[in-house]
Homo-oligomer: A and B are copies of this chain.
């Protein structure tokens, strides 16, 4: 399919045509070939005016917390309300192994076959930054195709939560009703960026879930008080992170969860923070890609490649100060490349 045909398929195709065009477009965007990249950039720019209307929901939690079951229950609930739902994943393990543990569509067996749902696994290979970039672009494709809710899912390990929070309108952290789990989330800086904390599997032990809710509510208040003064808990124009208990397996609490999401969305739209967040995210994303590009070009520069091994060894052995080595390498890169030969 030509880029023009992909554009038409995404923006005005039937459900089946649309999904095929989306998948082909996302594959094109994931390609590292220069000509594909140029086509992908042009297509993305053409699609942009059709994006931005979906609600972007980030969901994270450690393995075993029940993300798949929760997203399946949530997706089917939203479809039941007449909405179309897309699910994308950022899987840090896929950047290492080249294969995604989250990519298995059979995890969400009812949602994955529903014509109002679109599920795309994490692109494999590359760095977390690269995977995150492809997922951001895939999100825009889903929006151009008119999906109402785009869910970006990640496992609660490493830096991927920060990446997901940095591309979504709302970041939801799934927790188990276990003591100490909230400390891990605080430690990783994930509790602090959560707009909503969901205690899943609340049916297993109601008392533990209630204790966890009290504990997390208290942590969120302390983090908010001491942190950004804008989070002051008395201002009703601002969102104060909430905790809700659910049982995704039993389908309990999904409606209360969605009510909280809707409340958040309305508040953030009214106070202008949703638009401001998206603007800030887009600029941060641009600079992140610039940084990655600069570093890649630096490492590939012939004179840097020629000098780096010895300078790294000298720095490690304490024969040259790190800042001196850095200046030497930066100077080498600024010389014409042919001088290295």
Contacts and interface: CB of A to CB of B under 8 A. Distances in A.
Contact of A318 (B282, B285, B320, B325): B282
How many copies of this chain sit in the oligomeric assembly? 2
Interface in A304-341: 311-312, 315-316, 318-327, 329-330, 334
A88 to B, nearest CB: 15
Interface string A17-57: 00000000000000000000100010011001001100000
A103 to B, nearest CB: 22
Contacts of A293: 326-327, 330
A219 interface: yes
A316 B279 contact: yes
A286 interface: yes
Contacts of A234: none
B282 A316 contact: yes
B48 A321 contact: yes
Interface stretch (A5-13, A67-75, A89-97, A221-229): A221-229
Interface in A264-292: 278-279, 282-283, 285-287, 289-291
A192 B187 CA distance: 8
Contacts of A45: 320-321, 324
A298 interface: yes
B321 A140 contact: yes
A290 to B, nearest CB: 5
Contacts of A180: 222, 226
A204 interface: no
Contact of A322 (B51, B183, B282, B321): B282
A237 interface: no
Contacts of A319: 48
B289 A323 contact: yes
A136 interface: yes
Contacts of A4: none
Most chain-B CB neighbours within 10 Å: which of A191, A290, A315?
A: A290
A137 interface: yes
Contacts of A286: 311-312, 315, 322-323, 325-326, 329
A189 interface: yes
A132 B67 CA distance: 42
A312 B294 CA distance: 18
B285 A322 contact: yes
| List of 9 A-B pairs having minimum Cβ-Cβ separation, nearest first | A289-B326, A286-B322, A285-B322, A294-B294, A293-B330, A41-B324, A282-B322, A279-B316, A44-B321
13 contacts: A44-B321, A45-B320, A137-B323, A184-B222, A184-B226, A187-B191, A278-B318, A282-B322, A285-B323, A286-B311, A286-B315, A286-B325, A289-B326
